[in-house]
Structure 1
Amino acid sequence: MEKESQRYVELEPVVISRYQIRKRIFDVLASSILIVCCIPLFLILSVSIVLNSGIPIFFLQKRTGKDNQLFTIFKFRTMKGSKHNRPTHAYEWKEGVPDSFTFKTDFDASVTPIGRVLRKYSLDELPQLFNVFFGEMSIVGPRPEIPEITTHYTSLQAKRLQVKPGITGYAQVNGRSEINHGKKIEYDLYYIENQSILFDLKIIIATIKCVVKGKGAF
């Protein structure tokens, strides 16, 4: 029997449910409408980024999606250009990702002035609406991690990869970047075990409240 501390290799297939079909329909409709409505905002933010810190406008990065499949996530660039070309993260965990691990810090000198505003109100995440439209992400789901982290998942931690990653999720509305990895896994697994359209709507409403308050960062 595989020990919990061993790295995750495969995921068991998940049967498509009515909920998943309805959720995909909602994702396509919601992302399409929001993309069209946000075109003026996209233009304003793009110009602001160029005037403030030059190009590129977007930050592209490989993330781990559903069933351990890699995809490219889209975000507005919030850091200085050179920082976005830094080497990939390297971790040497041998017994899974530590529960105490936190990826983000409260302050980073490499974040641009406009980038701080974008992060505070999660405006840098808006381009991920295209990821949702293309079917790589969902509006609601566990936030996608970089593969340098997910390759160290235990079988328990890897259960969060059984669903599409989301722009927002249950962990985000319960602490955003302020919670550690162990707590995030706990929230994500609770979400996976209790998925429903009503639960998704509650998370979306809670997300709007968090964004308006500018508390934490996604």
Structure 2
Amino acid sequence: MAGDLVGLSISCLVALVFRQNLAFLDPAPHLSEEAVRSGVTIAVVWMIALRLTGATNPRFLPSGPEIYRSVLVASIGVVGLVGAALFLTGFTLSRPFFVALILASVLLLLLVRFVARRCLNLARTRGHLRSQVLVVGSAGHVRGIVRTLAREVWLGYDVVGAIASIGELGRNEDAGVPILGDESQLLELVRAQQPDIVLFTAGSSASADEFRRMAWELEDLEVDVIVVPAVSEISGDRIRMRPVAGLPLVHMDLPRARKAVRQGKRVFDMAASALLLLILSPLLAAVALAVRLGDGGTVIFRQQRVGRTGEVFEFLKFRSMGMDAEARRAELTQRARDRGNVVMFKMADDPRVTRVGKFLRRYSLDELPQLWNVLRGDMSLVGPRPALPEEVSGYDLDASRRLAVRPGITGLWQVSGRSDLSWDDTVRLDVFYVDNWSFSQDLLILVRTVRAVLASRGAY
């Protein structure tokens, strides 16, 4: 809230300077006095609107989208209220000043939350501001929760133990954390462990009445309660909660793989790839020359890859390895599997990569010829990474889901760690992308790709 007040004050000053320096308008001698009076009033209304829409709720801060959306909703409300008040009261206020104030305020309010969110997540990944969690549920569901919370460190949750049914006591390996007791000992264990959060997952109670009674027991304790339904890897925009007759009904949209292959995405891919090929043509020529002069071999590496619905296509890259790379692959496969990626062949210290190739791979310049694959319709700008036929032959049911859409030059996997990720994490991220596709998510991935390429993390 302090950041919001500072942001609104700066916005008022910026709007005042902007209005007074408009060359085609005469200076407004009394605008400073009007700006102070109107700015204070607008700031008060804005702070109230931010509070009412949840834009200052710390629970929304870690995830991001909800708190950003609240800022935009509050801002629209403020514009409507202030505009109506000016019209009804006949108060004269410079319109350029008002427009500049609104635009600057929205940007700074969003920036305040972006900075606060990054600082909070960074602190949590370094072991600060973390919450102790006691999980209640069946061992299998507890294990899934423990694995997710351990992976998503930025959430700031540390699982201290679990409460399961009597029949599952002692099955610590199945749960992934020590099982401290059964449901009948809930109140006693919460008092002993003093967790910040009690998290109920599937299998935490035999009936709704039993769950309600467990909540009664926690009523007098200083503890937060979180309920996790038996669904996972679903984006928030596919879920709507509607309490009906006391039942918390969760409405879920079906997976969006079909939406990800509609014509709108294809038109965007064609237009963007054609434009990028045109803009990057000097760079493409320079890279081609560097590859050719590097060892005198061919410039373009061609390989058979598997695309949507299992169709095979010719995959293009600038050659970053020696001419005998494919012949030497078999002897290096086992070394790559030792890293945990038992399906996708990737090595951090691949001896086949040339000196020029190391630079190209570091900044993903070897991927640029795939823009032609996108223009041709074999690939998309965003999607799962295209796999080799022998990799696809080892796919299970979950991994096969990656083939429901066109493969992409970049994707959720690439911007979340690239080759540093295990095969299980790669599949999880790609399946999440396929099931929860949206055009806005594609745009966000493209923006994150630029950052990932510049950082060159996981690129080899």
- What's 2:278 paired with? 36
Any idea what the Cα deviations from partners look like across 1:122-170, whole Å, max 9, x if unmatched? Answer: 0000000000000000000000110101012112210110000000000
Please state if 1:201 is matched with 2:443. yes
How many Å apart are 1:19 and its aligned residue? Answer: 6.7
- What's 2:301 paired with? 59
What's the RMSD between the two structures over aligned residues? 2.3
The answer to whether the Cα contact below 8 Å between 2:380 and 2:406 also exists between their aligned partners in 1 is yes
Identity of aligned residues (%): 38
Please state if 1:122 is matched with 2:342. no
Mapped partners of 1:146, 1:101: distance in 2: 10
Mapped partners of 2:300, 2:323: distance in 1: 10
- What's 2:351 paired with? 109
- What's 2:421 paired with? 179
Write the mapping of 1:20-31 to structure 2, written as runs, cut at 5 A.
Answer: 20-31=262-273
Mapped partners of 1:208, 1:16: distance in 2: 27
- Secondary structure, counterpart of 2:440 in structure 1: helix
Name the larger-Rg structure: 2
- Secondary structure, counterpart of 2:324 in structure 1: helix
- Secondary structure, counterpart of 2:288 in structure 1: helix
The answer to whether the Cα contact below 8 Å between 1:65 and 1:71 also exists between their aligned partners in 2 is yes
Mapped partners of 1:70, 1:147: distance in 2: 8
- Residue number among 63, 66, 72 corresponding to 2:314 in the alignment: 72
- What's 1:4 paired with? none
How many Å apart are 1:84 and its aligned residue? Answer: 4.0
Letter in 2 for 1:65: G
How many Å apart are 1:20 and its aligned residue? Answer: 2.1
Letter in 1 for 2:430: D
- Secondary structure, counterpart of 1:81 in structure 2: coil
The 10-residue stretch of structure 1 (65-74 or 77-86) with the greater mean CA deviation from structure 2: 77-86
- Secondary structure, counterpart of 1:156 in structure 2: helix
Letter in 2 for 1:50: R
Mapped partners of 1:79, 1:113: distance in 2: 9
Letter in 1 for 2:426: K
- Secondary structure, counterpart of 2:397 in structure 1: coil
How many Å apart are 1:100 and its aligned residue? Answer: 5.1
The answer to whether the Cα contact below 8 Å between 1:78 and 1:114 also exists between their aligned partners in 2 is yes
Any idea what the Cα deviations from partners look like across 1:53-106, whole Å, max 9, x if unmatched? Answer: 1120011000110001111100000011122455779x9xxxxxx865552111
Mapped partners of 1:124, 1:18: distance in 2: 26
Mapped partners of 2:330, 2:315: distance in 1: 15
Mapped partners of 1:193, 1:105: distance in 2: 29
* Number of residue equivalences: 199
Letter in 2 for 1:103: F
- Secondary structure, counterpart of 2:315 in structure 1: strand
- Secondary structure, counterpart of 1:182 in structure 2: helix
- What's 1:81 paired with? 323
How many Å apart are 1:18 and its aligned residue? Answer: 8.3
Per chain length, whose mean CA-contact separation is higher, i.e. which structure has more relative contact order (CA < 8 Å, sep 6+)?
1
Please state if 1:146 is matched with 2:146. no
- What's 1:94 paired with? none
Compared CA separation, residues 20 and 50, structure 1 to 2 (3 A): same
